[in-house]
Structures are given as structure tokens and as C-alpha cells.
Chains A and B, each alone.
Chain A
Amino acid sequence: MAATRDGYGQALLELAENKKVVVLEADLGKSTKSLHFRKAYPERTISCGIGEQNMLLVAAGMASSGYIPFASTFAIFTERAFEQMRNGVARPGLAVHLCGSHGGTHTGTDGSSAQSIEDLAIFRTLPNVTVMHPSDEVSTRILTKRLATSTNASYMRTARNKTPVLYDDTPEDSIQIGKGIELKNGTDVAIVACGVLVSESLKAAEMLAQEGIQATVIDMHTIKPLDTDLIDNVAQRCGCIVTAEDHSIIGGLGGAVAEHLSMTATTPLERVGVKDRFGESGQSDEMLELMELSAPHIAKAARRAMQRK
């Protein structure tokens, strides 16, 4: 078990040999894990105090001057800088990399004020912005490192709490921005998940297997650009799809898949996500249960999807 935010912090350290990489913080470096970079490279770490709007645009100014800025705060607070991301980063096409940690209801006991469930949706609407929500510490590290050579701005959500490590023995080449990863190959139903719900989806697939249902499980760590080839492929192979995310059912991964399928296929789609409501204080596992995001709920959605074939 490991937290994806640790993968982010580790990636920044590994990127540091590129002198153009700079880190921006808004008083949450201890939490987002940029603190390791700050300790090792204080001269390339810019403290912006508790001021996310300023941070995003300082990053933009640095990007325009040839730097590769990685700015992080809690996912929920990236939202207050949405217009800065829109007008000051995405519109001029500056490669600023924004990381929102502690995303989703999985973040737990701080309660609903800290549980960002709309970040993926809002940033996905911006042209020139890559949106990712990796599932484990290893893929977060690899994908964060890949961002350093990307010419697009990005938003990446990481999670506060530990989740299973899925890619310990996986060659780095198989983890690429914009390419979903097929973790399990079945023909009855395809579960397309991101972030902390990828491991829940694998559990759901095991439950389904006991009933003789063979599920495909996709780690769709990149929500934008969406791997539409893979979606089309599994839609054809499995005939029905379930999306799973610790995020509102409006506009996130489920929204993105629905938008795509509406143009290409009549494949039944069930969306597992936060059902247009706010969370509350609770442990991660309790939150996944309360929000009906855990493995049994994903399995249930898979059965519903299959019935609609």
C-alpha cells in the first residue's frame, strides 16, 4: 500500500536534475509531498503562501520564461484558481502542471469541505489541458515525470490515503499519458476506472468472476485526452461498460466516456460515482461505502449493465 501523493513527491525529486523544473507551493507542501523537493532544492521552490490564484499565475509567468513549473495544493483549492487556469494558463498555452492532492471523498475525515468531487470535470473543459488521476504510487511517479516533457498544461489529482500498489513490476514504457491500461481481460463487461477506484474495480472483477462473469478492467488514468480507441475496443468486445470514479457522476470519467459513446455506439453504460451530492466526515473505506463507490457497488453496476445488453 502507498499513497499516490508520495509518487508525485518522488517524481519531483527525480525530475530535479533538469534545472528548468521548479516547484510552487501554497503552504501545503507537507501534504502534497512537494516538501522533499523543497528541502533538496530550496532555490527552485517558490512559496506562494496561502494563495492559490497567485500561485497558478506565477507558474504561468515562469513557464513563459522557459521553466517547467509544478504547482500543487489540495484538489479542492485548485478549484478556486480555475479561472486563472483557464485564462492565464490554458488560453495562452503555457505548460504549467497543477497537482491537486487529497482529491475525492476518499480523503476522509476533514469532511465535505475538503472532498473535491468536481475537479476532474471542471479542468476537463479547458482546451490544451491534460487531466489525469492515476491509480497507484508507481504510475503517479511515472506519469508525473512524463509531464515534464509535455507541451500541454495539466491537472493531476492524487489521493491522500494509501491504496494498493498495482504497477510494481511493470515496465515504465507501458505507462503513457493518454493510454488506458488493461489490467484484466474479460468479455462480459468492461469496468473503466480511475484513481482509487481502480483497485476497487479489480476487487469487483474478482467478485464477478465467482459468478462466472468475466470482466475487463481498465485503468483510465488519463481522463483527457481520453483513450477513445480503447473505449471503442472494449465496447465492442464486452458490449457494456461501467465507469468508476471517486468523483461526481457529472462530467468526470463517466461523463467523458458517455460523451464519446454517444457518438460511436449504443453500448449500455453505468456510471459509478458520487451521485450529485456532497460528502461528510468519515474514514476512506466508510466514504466509499456511503457514496456507493466500493467494489460491491461496482459489481452491482456491472450486473445492471449486462442486463441492459
Chain B
Amino acid sequence: MQHTIEELEELARKCRIEIVKMVYRAQAGHPGGSLSEIDLLAGLYGTTMRVRSDEPDWEDRDRFILSKGHASPGMYALLAERGFISHEDLTSYRVLGGVCQGHVDMKWCPGVDFSAGSLGMGLSYGMGCAIAAKLDGSERRAFVMLGDGEIQEGSVWEAAMAAAHHELGNLKVILDRNRIQNDDFCETQMRMFDIPAKWRAFGWNVKEINGHDMNEVVEGMNYLAETNDGPSILIAHTVKGKGVSFMEDNPSFHGAAPNDEQYALALSELGVAV
């Protein structure tokens, strides 16, 4: 089902509200990276992603691997909006026995394809899914979302090199370039220099977009879908905490929950009547 740009934007806005609610309720979690990735998730699931909410384990589904698994509220919000889990399930985020574990977990949550949470693992796993699809003669693809801080993990580059070597045209990466990691700005923690050049040098197809402009996001997803001569990466320039003024570009909200006052402000900024 194709959506209009406005519908995708509305999907992302609804998800943002759920992200803020989840983190507030749990008084823990990762709002910043969830808010930066959410337009991309909405754009992916609203366009090219082939999945079935009523059959989450459908063998020939595209795989989506949220390698930055701590940004789970974004994933859970999207899965609820797309009918994989209920909105009620969202209240189980970080709660004992809840389907919404702190970090996305395939054993707990329908629609989650990999148990992430330890950075630097998802691309390799996605590569395995992509090779399996090729061996099966299947059209299914593996989409992997990486964080920008995450690519400081050396194993990401083991996978990047191997995926190009194996010419995995069905492996597609979205890089959430929100410029902030746990402790501070990436620039302070570990300068990464020319990220697109690095991926090109590793043999990847590269496209850059503004990760909050839904037209560009859709264009980017189309680029990934149509680029099949080797692996491809969409480098999405985003703003950490996007959509909530005091969280935007603020390293303090990588992994912190809003207080009562901030919560009310966040909801009103996202268009919720409080």
C-alpha cells in the first residue's frame, strides 16, 4: 500500500508521541535516537518494506534489523502503528515480562528480526539474512539501520568489507547520522571524517539525504530498493531528539527520560492536547 507524503509524516508524528510516552512511563530509555530515526522507519515501512503484520514470521518477508537496538521505542511505536503489536503492548516497555524489552528482542516482540542492543552486530546479521535469501533464490532483502556512533565499532567494517566482497545487492543500510552518541557529540568522542567516502571506499553504493524531509526519505528508500548491484547505504542526516525542542541536538537526551514538566511540553509540541 502506497502512502502519501502527508500520511507518512502523520505516521511519524504519531510514533513520536508514543516514543515520548514510553520513555516517560519507564523513566528510562533512549528518546534521542528514537526521534532521529523515526521518519526513516516510517518511510521504510510505508514504502518498500515487504512484511505482513498478521504473519510476522512470514518466511519471505524483508528483514529489518535495528542494529542500534537501544533506540527501541521508535521501533516499538512503529510496530504498534503498523499492527504488529498493540498500543497496550507499548506500556510494557522496560517492564518485567513485557514484549517491549529495553533493547529490541526477536524472542519477545513480533516484527523484530534481530535481538540487538550490543552495537556493531546488526550489519553482519543482516549480511547472513541476505546471503540466505540469495541461496534460497528469494527476492527478500535485508535492511539494517546503523547509528553513526555505532560505526566506530570495528566489526561494522568487517561486515562492510565482506558484504561488498560478496556483492550483496539485497543488503541495504540506513545510517542515522544524528551526530550524537552516549557521552557527547560524535565529533568530540571519535571523529569519523568523511563517512560517505569511507563506505564508497569499501565498495558500497552511497546516497545522502535529509532524514527528516519525507520527500527525500521516500526518494532514499526508492534508491535502496532500486540499487541492486552490490550493497547500498543511505546516509540520513538527522537531528537527535527531532520534534521535541529541548531534546533536539542535546546529548543529555540520548538516554534520559523527561520529567513531568518536560513531558507536558513535549506532548504539546507534538500536537497532543494536554
Contact = CB atoms under 8 A, between A and B. Distances in A.
Interface of A: 22, 43-44, 46-49, 51, 53-67, 69, 83-84, 87-88, 91-93
A61 B158 contact: no
A88 B123 CA distance: 12
Contacts of B161: 49, 51
Nearest to A56: B124
Contacts of B107: 91-93
B247 interface: no
Interface in B144-168: 154-155, 158-159, 161-162, 165-166
B118 interface: yes
Contacts of A93: 107
Given A58-B128, A58-B131, A64 B113 contact: yes
Contact of B121 (A57, A63, A65, A69): A57
Most chain B CB inside 10 Å of its own CB: which residue of A48, A57, A59, A93: A57
A69 B158 CA distance: 19
A61 B131 contact: yes
B85 to A, nearest CB: 18
Most chain A CB inside 10 Å of its own CB: which residue of B113, B118, B131, B162: B131
7 closest A-B pairs by CB: A61-B128, A57-B124, A65-B132, A51-B158, A54-B158, A58-B128, A53-B155
7 contacts: A44-B135, A53-B158, A54-B124, A61-B142, A65-B129, A84-B124, A84-B155
Interface residues of B, number: 32
B129 A64 contact: yes
A61 B118 contact: no
Contacts of B142: 61
Given A48-B162, A58-B131, A65 B118 contact: no
Interface of B: 59, 105-107, 113-115, 117-118, 120-121, 124-133, 135-136, 142, 154-155, 158-159, 161-162, 165-166
B64 to A, nearest CB: 13
Contacts of B120: 53
B68 to A, nearest CB: 14
Most chain A CB inside 10 Å of its own CB: which residue of B107, B126, B128: B128
Given A49-B162, A87-B117, A92-B115, A58 B133 contact: no
A152 to B, nearest CB: 15
Contacts of B165: 47, 49
A67 B114 CA distance: 16
Contact of B128 (A47, A65, A92): A65
B260 to A, nearest CB: 35
A81 to B, nearest CB: 9
B37 to A, nearest CB: 21
A92 B158 contact: no
A66 B60 CA distance: 11
Contacts of B129: 61-62, 64-65
B114 A92 contact: yes
A163 to B, nearest CB: 34
Contacts of A47: 165
A159 B178 CA distance: 48
B115 A46 contact: no
Contact of A61 (B59, B125, B155): B125
Contacts of A65: 128-129, 132-133, 136
B233 to A, nearest CB: 16
B5 to A, nearest CB: 33
B162 A51 contact: yes
A62 B162 contact: no
A63 B131 CA distance: 11
A67 B135 contact: yes
Given A49-B165, A83-B118, A54 B106 contact: no
B128 A60 contact: yes
B106 to A, nearest CB: 5
A36 B161 CA distance: 25
Contacts of A57: 121, 124-125, 127-128, 155, 159
Contacts of B114: 61, 64, 88, 92
Nearest to A57: B124
